[in-house]
Amino acid sequence: MKVIERVAKSKSINALIKTYEEQRKEQRKRYKNKQNQDEYGYSET
């Protein structure tokens, strides 16, 4: 979630929303592909 914090500091709401949605999509993909390793997928950010 460090990326989201960085974007939030720049006060760019649109960029924040876009980044958040992209991360959610990636996390869902990782969760489906590697359900055993979802913890590692989340901690990567």
User: What domain range includes position 15?
Assistant: 2-43
pLDDT exceeds 60 at position 45? no
12 secondary structure, DSSP code: -
Identify the residue with better confidence: 9 or 42.
9
pLDDT digits (tens, 9 = 90+) for 13-35: 787 788 889 999 988 887 776 66
Cβ contacts of 15 within 8 Å, gap of 6 or more: 7
pLDDT band at residue 41 using 50, 70 and 90 as cut-offs:
low
What confidence score (pLDDT) does residue 20 get? 87
Structural domain count of the chain: 1
pLDDT band at residue 36 using 50, 70 and 90 as cut-offs:
low
| Cβ atoms within 10 Å of 42's Cβ, excluding its own | 13
> How far is residue 25's CA from residue 30's CA, in Å, rounded to a whole number?
9
Half-sphere exposure of 22 (CA within 13 A, CB side): 10
